[in-house]
Amino acid sequence: MAVTDMGVDSDGASLLEASRQQFDAEGFTVMRALFAPAEIEALNAEFAALHTAGPVPGHFEPRAMQTGQPADPLHLYPRVMHPHRINDLALRFLLEPRLREVLETLLGEEVLAAQSMFYFKPPGARGQALHQDNFYLRVEPGTCVAAWIACDVIDRDNGGLDVVPGTHRMDLFCPEEADPDVSFAREYVPPPAGLTAVPVDMSPGDVLFFNGSLVHGSHPNRTADRFRRSFICHYAGRSAERIGSWYDALTMDGHRIALPESEGAGPCGTEFTPNGPH
In angstroms, the CA 27 to CA 166 distance is: 6
pLDDT of residue 194: 97
160 within domain boundaries = yes
Identify the CATH number of the domain in which residue 99 sits: 2.60.120.620
Could you tell me the pTM of the whole model?
0.93
Does the pLDDT of residue 66 top 70, yes or no? no
39-62 tens-digit pLDDT: 999 999 999 999 999 899 999 999
SS3 track for the chain: CCEECCEECHHHHHHHHHHHHHHHHHCEEEECCCCCHHHHHHHHHHHHHHHHHCCECCCECCCCCCCCCCCCHHHHCCCEECHHHCCHHHHHHHCCHHHHHHHHHHHCCCEEEEEEEEECCCCCCCECCCECCHHHHCCECCCEEEEEEECCCECCCCCCEEEECCHHHCCCCCCEECCCCCECECEECCCCCCCCCEEECECCCCEEEEECCCEEEECCCCCCCCCCCEEEEEEEECCCCEECCCCCCEECCCCECCCCECCCCCCCCCECCCCCCC
267 within domain boundaries = no
Averaged pLDDT of the chain: 93
203 within domain boundaries = yes
Does the pLDDT of residue 2 top 80, yes or no? no
pLDDT of residue 115: 98
205 within domain boundaries = yes
102 within domain boundaries = yes
Place 278 in a pLDDT band, splitting at 50, 70 and 90.
very low
269 within domain boundaries = no
pLDDT of residue 277: 37
Provide the domain count of the chain: 1
209-240 tens-digit pLDDT: 999 999 999 999 999 999 999 999 999 999 99
98 within domain boundaries = yes
164 within domain boundaries = yes
Q: Which structural domain, as residue segments, surrounds residue 172?
A: 14-52+72-251
Mean pLDDT of 15-20: 94
